[in-house]
Amino acid sequence: MAYLLGVVLFALAILVSVSLHEAGHMATAKAFGMKVTRYFVGFGPTLWSFKRGETEYGIKGIPLGGFCKIVGMTPQDDDVDPADEPRAMWRYPVWKRTIVMGAGSATHFALAVVALWLAAVFMGLPNPDFPTTEEQARQEPAVIALGECVVPENTVRECTPADPASPAAQAQLRSGDRITSLNGAPIDNYGQLLVALRAAAPGSTAEIGYVRDGQPATTRATLATTQRPPLDDAKGPVGPVAALGVGLRPSTPNMVTYGPVDAFGATAEYTGNMAVGTYEAMKRIPEKVPALWDAITGGERDMDTPISVVGASRLGGEAVANDAWELFVMLFISLNFFVGVFNLLPLLPLDGGHIAIAWFERVRSWLYARFGRADPGRVDYLKLMPVTYAVILVGGVFTLLTITADVVNPITLFSR
């Protein structure tokens, strides 16, 4: 039930974000005097609507987005009433059209930044010193997080009654204990603990030195058996290895909270990191398409592959089910920032495509005037339709690919 609630809440958060995106277009268009005839949440058949002034507001039956209708977005729009011609969007200065078209992305950025500041003050932001890679984790002190069992196969899931109990738990070890030796070999970090376990025989009895509350002690544990690839090759052949039934408990907190003033600096820093991360993620999208196809056809799902709104909602459900509201909020922030950036790409039918054309027209008119030539006028959007359809087709196929992968082989952040 908690999982389903999380899925619904995250899907609702996405719908609200998209609705506010369209509201940003509408508010700025109205502020400049452009005519907005319709503002709807959703698509398909109209469930409910009302008219106030010259705009109809309402809700449609398919809650997958929203839209607002601004009169005369392009010179080729053929549904403009002659009386509305002076208020057609394409007649307004380029800077006003840029603000209107960019208001959607600005809304997503505003949602992300405000949510970031609130998170920094009340919930905390991810600690930049927290180990995020395998190499960083192996340099951490061998402070353990106790597992309930040892999963025999090379996978991540919840324990079942058939799984062997954690040898560490049976040896009376506790979460927070720091392992200092294994079978006489000194342990200085988590990486050395992994190496020492690989050197031990599955099913053998290991002598473990540890420190608890500053006091050294020893215990003995019969090591379980699991399947793992070599430490230096995560994609290498899987074989039986000894397991203690513990994980790493990092020495640094995962989240850091800030005061109201310090939160501004933390928000700015995290926003900058998101900008870099989003740029890098968008560069990798083409090379991740084969990995998505592999995931659909039975291969292992790469954690670094793109996800759809379906996948994001599923992760939101996992977060709620595991009481990880920090993850829920950070997913919401990251998604809004990504959508804001993606929507500014200079491609039709994205808002960034309309902005790029508006400035192309402005620069071209300026250049023609400098050379004493007649203004060539507006860009003919009809001639750009083949390119627009190509973008829609590619985007549609990619969306279908990610949704399918998120249904048949979803990314999961918690063991099951």
List active site positions. Answer: 22
For the record, the structure tokens of 211 come out as: 């420190």
**Tokens 């507001």 identify what position?**
57
Confirm if 20 and 38 have CB atoms less than 8 A apart: no
Confirm if 143 and 249 have CB atoms less than 8 A apart: yes
CB atoms inside a 10 Å sphere around CB 376: 11
Phi, psi torsion values for 279, nearest 5 degrees: -60, -45
User: What is the C-alpha to C-alpha distance for residues 212 and 174, in angstroms, rounded to an integer?
Assistant: 9
Nearest to 176 by CA among 145, 147, 207: 145
CB atoms inside a 10 Å sphere around CB 303: 8
User: What is the C-alpha to C-alpha distance for residues 125 and 266, in angstroms, rounded to an integer?
Assistant: 8
Residues present in the chain in total: 416
For the record, the structure tokens of 4 come out as: 């389903």
